[in-house]
Amino acid sequence: MTPAILRRLEIFCAVIEAGGATQAAARLSLSQPAVSQQIARLEDELGLALFARANGRLSPTESALVLYEEASHAFDGLERVVNLARDIRGLERGLLRIAAPHSTAGTLLPLALKRLAAGRDRLRFDVRLGRYESIVGMVAAREVDLGIAKAPLLAPGVEAVEIGASGLVAVAAAGSPLAAQPVLRLSDLAGEPLIMIGRGRPWRDEIDVAFRRRRLPVRVAVETQSVASAIGFAAAGFGIALTPDWFADAMARTDVVIRPVDIGISHRFLVVHPARAGSRALAEAFAEAIRAVRAQMVGPTGTEAVETPPRIR
Query: Could you read off the pLDDT of 152-182 as tens digits, one per residue?
Result: 887 888 999 999 888 889 999 988 888 788 8
Which CATH number is 7's domain given? 1.10.10.10
Give residues with Cβ within 8 angstroms of 27, minimum separation 6. 14, 18
d(CA 275, CA 103) in angstroms, rounded, equals: 26
In a domain, 48, yes or no: yes
Total domains, the chain: 3
- Residue 308: inside a domain: no
Is residue 173 domain-shared with residue 144, that is, in the same domain? no
**Residue ranges of E strands in the chain:** 51-54, 57-60, 93-100, 122-129, 146-150, 158-166, 168-173, 193-197, 219-224, 240-244, 256-261, 267-274
pLDDT averaged over 10-residue windows placed end to end, the chain, 313 residues: 81 89 89 90 89 81 87 74 53 75 85 88 87 90 90 86 90 85 90 87 85 92 88 92 78 82 88 82 90 75 37 28
Structure confidence at residue 307 (pLDDT): 36
Q: ∠ CA(202), CA(207), CA(210), 5° rounding? A: 125
Q: For 142, phi and psi rounded to 5 degrees?
A: 60, 30
Residues 200 and 52 in one domain: no
Tell me: the pLDDT tens digits for 101-152? 888 887 889 999 999 888 877 788 999 999 888 999 999 988 888 999 988 8
Q: Are residues 160 and 225 in the same domain?
A: no
Widest Cα–Cα separation across the chain? 103
Whether 118 is in a domain gets the answer yes
What does the alpha-carbon distance between residue 256 and residue 172 come to, in Å, rounded to a whole number?
A: 5
The CA dihedral of 185, 188, 192, 195, to the nearest 10 degrees, is -20
Rg (C-alpha) for the chain, rounded Å, is 31
Q: In the 8-state DSSP scheme, what is residue 276?
A: T
pLDDT given at position 90: 52
Strand-strand pairing, 267-274 and 158-166: antiparallel
User: Quick check: is 303 in a domain?
Assistant: no
Q: Domain containing 19: what range?
A: 3-89
The verdict on residue 304 lying in a domain is no
Residue 221 pLDDT: 94
User: CATH number of the domain that 147 lies in?
Assistant: 3.40.190.10
- The full length of the chain comes to 313
Determine the pLDDT at residue 298.
62
Q: How far is CA 154 from the centre of its chain?
A: 19
Instruction: Specify the pLDDT at position 226.
Output: 83
Specify whether 213 is located in the same domain as 256: yes
Q: Is residue 271 part of a domain?
A: yes
Instruction: Tell me the C-alpha distance between 191 and 273, whole Å.
Output: 43
